[in-house]
Amino acid sequence: MLFQYGTYVSSGQPMFTVDFTRQLNVSDDSEYDQYVQVRCELRYTPTLDLDALGSFESWFFHDADTDVGGWFAAMGERLGPLLDRRPAGIDLFEEPV
The helix (run of H) or strand (run of E) holding residue 3 is strand 2-9
Q: What is the pLDDT of residues 36-49, one digit of tens each?
A: 999 999 999 999 99
Residue 72 identity (one-letter amino acid): F
Run of H or E including 48: helix 48-51
Partners of 59 in the β-ladder: 2
Q: What's the pLDDT tens digit per position in 22-75?
A: 988 887 777 667 889 999 999 999 999 999 999 999 999 887 777 889 999 999
CA angle, 56 as apex, 41 and 16 as ends, to 5°? 45
Position 91: which residue type?
D
